[in-house]
Amino acid sequence: MKASVSLWSADLLNLRADVRRLEQVADEFHLDVMDGNCVPDLVFGLDFVRALVRSTAVPMDVHLMLTQTATQAAAYAEAGARVVTIHHELCNDVRSVLTALRASGSRAGLVVRLRDGLNPESLHLDLVDRLLVMGTEIGVKGQDLDPATPQRVETLVSLRRQHRLAFDIFVDGGIRHQTVQKLASAGADGVVPGSLVFGAPNPIEAVSWIHTLGTQTSSKGAA
């Protein structure tokens, strides 16, 4: 299983050191871009993403929570984000934005909120490279994983297989030792750990443990 490590949980006054410490093990760094309108908080932004892309070879995974998603998504792709994930409810023409992101060379992601339906049309499965399944309400830290999340992941895995597609399924929110194992068993390709990594005695070992879960899950599937 992959780890897109959330820098929102890093030491924001010593962020460079946290990035350097994890760049040999993190698959991606996850950046929540918030404008303070869609969610209560206000964190990160375009200039920061651009600077971080220049400072490390680890790919950037950007989650946009912006009222002006349609007009700003392309700028984050141009800034070097490997993955740009948008919210359908914050974008009037989701398909156009997803198409433009892919044309720019970024991978196009779409958020699946807790109460969103899981059908191919509303999820635009023909245009997404990643589905970011929310295990909690967006923009708030410290919540527990919604108990229905593993089953929702299993449903998406089944849809992916049924339609012969290859999008990633990542889960964000409520990522804990006991929940990440359930998500791995459900077939998630990755998680967005925050405090699970930065609150651990050894953050490098925490990321390596997540990788091991993926290996175990794959071995079971192969058997």
Which has more pLDDT, 141 or 63?
A: 63
For 21-34, how does the pLDDT look when each residue is reduced to its tens digit (9 = 90+)?
999 999 999 999 99
Q: Partners of 109 in the beta sheet? A: 85, 130
More confident residue, 42 or 217: 42
* 32 in catalytic set: yes
Q: Is 11 a catalytic residue?
A: no
Residue 221 has pLDDT above 70, yes or no: no
**CATH number, residue 107:** 3.20.20.70
Q: Which residues pair with 65 in a beta bridge?
A: 34
Of the residues 27, 146, 168, 172, which is catalytic?
A: 172
Active-site residue, selected from the candidate residues 32, 61, 129, 189:
32
Q: How many domains does the chain have?
A: 1
- Mean pLDDT score across all residues of the chain: 92
Range of the domain at 206: 2-222
Q: In the prediction, which pLDDT does 223 show?
A: 30
E strand residue ranges, 113-198: 130-134, 168-172, 190-192
pLDDT digits (tens, 9 = 90+) for 53-97: 999 999 999 999 998 898 999 999 999 999 999 999 988 899 999
